[in-house]
């Protein structure tokens, strides 16, 4: 089964040293950007309070905060790249990951959150140590900044890095059942709500509460500027956060939808990349399993059709296990190879098989061309039916035309192969014969026996083709003109004479 070249799989196929370095740079940049976004949020909260608090934290620590921000950006970028490096080593060379390497790759999301939160926690500890003489008034803004900044950085980092890690997750989870190791759809929506709504609203509410009680913020100061800045920050940073969240859900679902459309149009070898470690990953895996089941069913149907004929296979699928049948007007063509035993004596087994394949390839092609059905192969003989299981307006003419076509086509195999063709028509039983657990579609009737006897006689006739009056009487006037009566004879196993006809000219 082949897989369409999705963006994720193309990235996986292009894995190499250069792509490995690009991944490390991109991943480090993602974490650095997440840290910067969180820092902007935090600064947007603390700076507007400048001059409005009992202990002016922003005034005293601005230089230190900027230095810590710069160091934090460098730290998360380097630490993120270092945490990804062991995974990139096997990914870049296209190696199959071990169980331990798979486990390490699937825990990248947790490690990156720890790196981002740890950077903020370390910055907070440093600020507390530098401001230990300021008491609780200095401690409150540090804790507020660390908690809000760390949460925002971890949440934004998950959204930013997810797209970068997709090729690695696809390679690491290929063939494995997805486990929930990253936030699922519900968790991502809650995270979006927190970052875009709860976070800024909570900050504004906190300003109001702190001012009303005179904690940290003086009661007589105006909050217009801080509230305006926080609102604008939420508005500006909320849009990219919402875009990242929606794309993290919509992109993989769109791939599944596109793949479903391809399957609907008959491309049942379509698969999707499994790179999500959430409910979406289970959707991707479930889709691939469904497609694999459809492909297996189609393969079995194709094999079934090759064994019994496409029309019979379709009939079996529609009717299920049934011993039903019906009596219909049909024409029967029986073709038998002459002196096949001598072939096995003079040729190697594989050469005999090749001769038989060439012989039956011509037979099947001619029968299909005239809307007939190869009912069965019997060693070096074949039985073709016209008018069953699919109805035909003129089965006799179709069978006779097929016989004439074969008479021309099979002469190409002379003198290696000789043959005899018999054609008859009449009412036959067409249906399933056998037991409930093993049966086959076949036709039974006098026309079948007569066609087989005529095929034996045809082996010694000039044209190698004979038909009965029963077949000719049911054919069109145009087809009857192509045949002439040869003689009458009593066929083996019959009590009455049969009028035998042969083509007036080959082809």
| 316 pLDDT above the threshold of 60 | no
- Give me the helices (H) in 370-425, please: 395-409
Residue 2 has pLDDT above 50, yes or no: no
Task: Give the DSSP letter of residue 133.
Answer: G
Would you say residue 57 has pLDDT above 60? no
* Cα→Cα distances 354→63, 349, 383, Å: 88, 9, 20
- Contact indicator for 428, 389 with CB cutoff of 8 Å: no
Pick from 15-19, 105-109, 211-215, 242-246 the range whose average pLDDT is largest.
Answer: 105-109
Q: Tokens 């230089």 map to which residue?
A: 63
If one compares 71 and 346, the residue with the highest pLDDT of the two is 71
Q: Give me the domains of the chain, ranges plus CATH numbers.
A: 7-249 (no CATH), 326-503 (3.30.70.1230)
What average pLDDT does this structure show over 42-63? 60
pLDDT of residue 467: 97
Average pLDDT over residues 410-431: 90
CA distances to 311, 352, 363, 401, 450 from 373, in Å: 8, 25, 11, 14, 18
318-354 pLDDT per residue, tens = 655 454 678 999 999 999 998 777 788 888 888 888 8
Q: What is the mean pLDDT of the chain?
A: 81
Both tokens of 358, joined, read 């060439």
CA 235 – CA 319 distance, rounded (Å): 63
Where is mean pLDDT largest: 147-151, 198-202, 457-461? 457-461
pLDDT on residue 251 = 84
For residue 194, pLDDT over 70 is answered with yes
**What distances in angstroms separate CA 70 from CA 32, 78, 114, 115, 321, one per listed residue?**
10, 13, 19, 15, 74
pLDDT attached to residue 423: 98
pLDDT value of position 310: 63
Residue 419 pLDDT class (50, 70, 90 cuts): very high
Count other C-beta atoms under 10 Å from residue 381's C-beta.
18
- Mean pLDDT confidence for 391-408: 93
Nearest to 384 by CA among 428, 340, 341: 428
Among 283, 12, 30, CA closest to 162: 30
The full DSSP string for 437-479 is TEEEEEEESHHHHHHHHHHHHHTTSSSSEEEEHHHHHTS-HHH
Can you give the pLDDT at residue 347? 85
Q: d(Cα 277, Cα 283) in Å, to the nearest integer?
A: 10
DSSP code of residue 217: B
Structure confidence at residue 59 as a pLDDT band (50, 70, 90)? low
Query: What phi and psi values does residue 497 have, to the nearest 5 degrees?
Result: -75, 145
Q: What angle do CA 231, 232, 235 make, to 5 degrees?
A: 90
**What's the average model confidence in pLDDT over 184-207?**
78
Q: Which structure tokens are listed for 177?
A: 């059942």
Tell me, what's the pLDDT at 52?
Answer: 52
Out of 26-35, 396-405, 469-478, least confident range = 26-35
Q: Answer left, alpha or beta for residue 98, where phi above 0 means left and psi between -120 and 50 means alpha.
A: beta
Percent of the chain predicted with pLDDT > 90: 26
Taking residues 393-421, report their average pLDDT: 91
Q: Which residue has the higher pLDDT, 327 or 151?
A: 327
Angle of helix 17-46 relative to helix 136-172, nearest 10 degrees? 160
pLDDT value at residue 500 = 96
CB-count burial class (<10 Å; 0-12, 13-18, 19+) for 366: buried
Exposed, middle or buried by CB within 10 Å (0-12, 13-18, 19+), for 65? buried
The answer to whether 388 and 430 are in contact (CB under 8 A) is yes
Q: Where are the alpha helices (DSSP H) in 173-278?
A: 185-193, 199-213, 224-264
The pLDDT tens digits for 421-436 are 999 999 999 888 877 7
Closest C-alpha to 312, from 383, 389, 366: 389
């Amino acid at each position: 089964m082949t897989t369409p070249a999705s963006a994720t799989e193309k990235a996986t196929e292009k894995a190499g040293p250069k792509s490995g370095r690009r991944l490390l740079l991109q991943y480090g940049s993602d974490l650095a950007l997440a840290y910067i976004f969180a820092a902007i949020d935090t600064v947007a909260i603390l700076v507007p309070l400048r001059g409005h608090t009992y202990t002016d934290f922003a005034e005293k620590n601005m230089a230190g905060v900027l230095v810590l921000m710069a160091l934090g950006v460098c730290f998360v970028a380097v630490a993120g790249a270092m945490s990804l490096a062991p995974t990139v080593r096997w990914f870049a060379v296209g190696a199959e990951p071990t169980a331990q390497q798979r486990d390490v790759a699937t825990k990248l999301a947790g490690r990156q959150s720890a790196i981002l939160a740890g950077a903020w926690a370390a910055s907070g500890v440093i600020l507390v140590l530098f401001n230990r003489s300021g008491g609780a008034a200095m401690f409150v803004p540090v804790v507020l900044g660390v908690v809000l900044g760390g949460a925002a950085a971890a949440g934004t980092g998950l959204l930013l890095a997810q797209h970068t890690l997709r090729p690695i997750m696809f390679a690491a989870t290929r063939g494995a059942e997805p486990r929930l190791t990253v936030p699922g759809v519900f968790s991502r929506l809650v995270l979006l709500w927190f970052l875009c709504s709860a976070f800024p609203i909570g900050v504004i509410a906190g300003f109001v509460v702190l001012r009303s009680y005179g904690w940290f913020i003086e009661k007589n100061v105006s909050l217009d500027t801080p509230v305006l800045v926080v609102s604008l920050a939420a508005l500006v940073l909320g849009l990219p956060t919402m875009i990242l969240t929606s794309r993290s859900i919509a992109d993989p679902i769109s791939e599944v939808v596109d793949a479903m459309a391809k399957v609907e149009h008959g491309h049942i070898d379509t698969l999707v990349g499994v790179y999500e470690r959430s409910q979406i990953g289970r959707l991707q895996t479930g889709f691939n399993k469904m497609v694999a089941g459809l492909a297996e069913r189609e393969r079995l149907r194709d094999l079934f059709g090759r064994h019994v004929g496409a029309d019979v296979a379709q009939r079996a699928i529609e009717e299920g296990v049934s011993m039903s049948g019906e009596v219909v007007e049909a024409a029967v063509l029986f073709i038998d190879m002459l002196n096949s035993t001598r072939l096995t004596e003079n040729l190697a087994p594989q050469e005999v098989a090749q001769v038989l394949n060439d012989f039956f390839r011509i037979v099947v092609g001619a029968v299909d061309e005239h809307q007939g059905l190869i009912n069965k192969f019997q060693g070096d003989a074949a039985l073709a039916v016209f008018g069953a299981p699919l109805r035909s307006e003129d089965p006799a003419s179709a069978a006779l035309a097929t016989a004439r076509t074969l008479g021309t086509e099979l002469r190409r195999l002379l003198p290696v192969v000789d043959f005899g063709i018999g054609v008859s028509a009449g009412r036959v039983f067409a249906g399933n014969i056998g037991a409930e657990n093993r049966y086959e579609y076949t036709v039974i009737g006098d026309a079948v026996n007569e066609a087989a006897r005529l095929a034996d006689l045809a082996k010694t006739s000039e044209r190698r083709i004979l038909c009965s009056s029963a077949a000719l009487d049911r054919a069109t006037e145009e087809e009857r003109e192509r045949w002439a009566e040869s003689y009458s004879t009593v066929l083996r196993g019959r009590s009455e004479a049969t009028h035998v006809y042969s083509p007036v000219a080959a082809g």
